Copies of this chain bind each other. A is one copy, B any other.
Amino acid sequence: MRVSLKDVAERAGVSIKTVSNVVNKYQHVTPAMRARVQEAIDELGYRPNLTARHLRKGRTGIIALAVPELGNPYFAELAGAVIDAAAEHDFTVLLDHTRGEREQEVLVSQGFRARVIDGLILSPLELESDDLLGREDDVPLVLLGERQYNLPYDHIAIDNVAAARTAVRHLIGRGRSRIAYLGARTDSANRPANLRLQGWREELTQAGIAAPDNLVGPVGGWNRWDGAKAMARMLDAGVRPDAVFAYNDLVAIGAMRVLHERGLRVPWDVAVVGFDDIAEGQFGAVTLTTVSPDKQAIARLAVASLLRSLEGEAEPEGRELTAEFRLVERESTLGRR
């Protein structure tokens, strides 16, 4: 069996408390005593049992992060940022994925698998407000992403409408006028407004440019294939945009592949702007102009929000916390330099 505090105490001929004091770097221990205990610790190869410590303290030092899927580089990169942000506060991260399925998201929010945690960061895709309304779990929760909820949980995102408008404005500035939006989810009727779609519409309207429905491409998901299919469908329908603003980089990349297959040149025939600034967009035959959310800031804000509820024991407030974004201009709108 593993050595415990008691074993060390016996070996050193002192009480458990003293050993505990040494382990926890308590101030008032005589150097001699400290050395003696340390020797016993080293000899026995003692390592504290964190589970016991957690039970006693009521904290585990673990926070969970649940994202739709790690195969989406945005979430993988975000997860990396969260791990780093958590580590700064000596927290470690339990990772789960929901496949973007509502049922999975609900389970996670209720603490289905990860009940050993001090807090939960959830990035929902399908979750509805109602699902969180009767939440029984008392673990602090913070929400990430474009979806908006009117709930007593902090929500962290960038200003999606402003970001979308920035992207569309950039395209207009490059002389485009038939700007498509790729990535509308029209499958579920009562789905709340898509903020990026809204931003697209607002900016076009303000510029006095038409925003017809046939320039809005619906998708079944937000991956490369979904983008490819949506782009193909639009072109097959005879619609010929001179620019595409995609829900995210993956959709944009899928769309670019189809444009390439059809002999349409990016950006000359069709300019493309994505969203997320995943590393993949910096390579490929045509690098991708994209909205770059500050992932580090999002991660830091999320962890800080959790820490806040953890320390204050205050009631959750449902604050809207906003991270910065910037437009990164690359070849898919500028062309090769």
Q: Does A296 contact B (CB under 8 A)?
A: no
One of A21-29, A45-53, A143-151, A179-187 contacting the partner: A45-53
Min CB gap A104→B, angstroms: 11
A137, B47: Cβ atoms closer than 8 Å = yes
A282, B70: Cβ atoms closer than 8 Å = no
Interface majority SS (helix, strand, loop, mixed), chain A = mixed
Q: Does A136 contact B (CB under 8 A)?
A: yes
Q: Does A316 contact B (CB under 8 A)?
A: no
Beta-carbon contacts of A1-22 to B below 8 Å, as 1s and 0s?
A: 0100000000000000000000
Q: Tell me how many residues of A have a C-beta within 8 Å of chain B.
A: 51
A47 cross-chain contacts in B, Cβ below 8 A: 111, 115, 136-137
Assembled-state Cα–Cα distance A253/B285 (Å): 10
B95, A224: Cβ atoms closer than 8 Å = no
Tell me the A residues contacting B by CB distance below 8 Å.
2, 45, 47-52, 54-55, 60-62, 69-71, 73, 76-77, 79-80, 83, 87, 92-97, 111, 113-116, 136-138, 224, 228, 253-254, 256-257, 260, 279-280, 282-286
- A-B contacts, 11 of them at CB < 8 A, read A50-B115, A51-B60, A60-B116, A70-B70, A80-B97, A83-B95, A92-B94, A94-B94, A94-B95, A284-B284, A285-B285
